[in-house]
Amino acid sequence: MSGAETRIGIVEWSGRIRSARSIEMRLAATFGTWIPLVEEPQSKLLLARHARHFAWHADLWDALVPVLHDVAVPDGVSDPGIQQAVAALGAVTGPAGVYEDVLPHVVAAYRRWAEEASPVAERPILRVLDLTLRDVDFDAQEGHEHFTP
């Protein structure tokens, strides 16, 4: 198969992109609500920076959502890996839980998508995955070191 051929159809990519946008927005909002609840200034700055990263990722994904005139694609989360992340996010009580329990699901889904994407046909998706994974890998390590005893 050449790099110009695609294994994943546009409808499925649309659902994946909408799922990614949704989890990134949820993470940004969750982190934003925690900022005033923590006392340590360094923790506030870390949460604010990571919240901004998640919001930026949501913007990147939003720019890729395809317009499908003849197919109804529901908003929200349709990808199973991201659904697991949403479920885990609903159970966490603090930042450490996001770094330990939520982000691994997001990273696993994104890495699977990168493996399934073709380098020519889905290059814009691969670019967003590359940017997002770099941030999430770094932020997860930083957050884990900061919030895990």
pLDDT band at residue 71 using 50, 70 and 90 as cut-offs: confident
Q: At what angle do helices 80-91 and 10-34 cross, to 10 degrees?
A: 10
Torsion of CA 133, 138, 143, 146, to 10 degrees: 170
Q: Is the pLDDT of residue 89 over 60?
A: yes
CA–CA dist 98, 123 (Å, integer): 29
Q: Which of 83, 79, 86 is nearest to 29 (CA)?
A: 86
User: Hey, is 117 helix, strand or coil?
Assistant: coil
Q: What is the pLDDT of residues 13-56, one digit of tens each?
A: 999 999 999 999 999 999 999 999 999 999 999 999 999 999 99
Would you place residue 66 in the very low, low, confident or very high pLDDT band (cuts 50, 70, 90)?
confident
The pLDDT value recorded for residue 6 is 72
Q: Looking at residues 89-98, what average pLDDT do you find? A: 96
Quote the CA–CA distance of 3 and 12 in Å, as a whole number.
18
Task: Looking at the structure, give the CATH architecture of the domain made up of residues 10-147.
Answer: Up-down Bundle (1.20)
DSSP secondary structure of 16-66: HHHHHHHHHHHHHHHHHHHGGG---HHHHHHHHHHHHHHHHHHHHHHTTPP
- Rounded to whole angstroms, the Cα distance separating 89 from 79 reads 15
pTM: 0.92
pLDDT attached to residue 109: 98
Instruction: Name the residue ranges covered by the structural domains of the chain.
Output: 10-147
pLDDT averaged over the chain?
93
**Count of alpha carbons within 13 Å of 104, Cβ hemisphere only?**
7
Q: Which of 40-49, 58-67, 140-149 has the highest mean pLDDT?
A: 40-49
> What is the predicted pLDDT for the residue at 4?
60
The C-alpha atoms of residue 30 and residue 98 are separated, in whole angstroms, by 10
Share of the chain above pLDDT 90, in %: 79
Residue 16's φ and ψ, nearest 5 degrees, are: -65, -45
**SS3 of residue 123 by DSSP:** helix
Pick the residue with more confidence: 30 or 148? 30
Among 8-12, 45-49, 58-62, the minimum mean pLDDT is found in 8-12
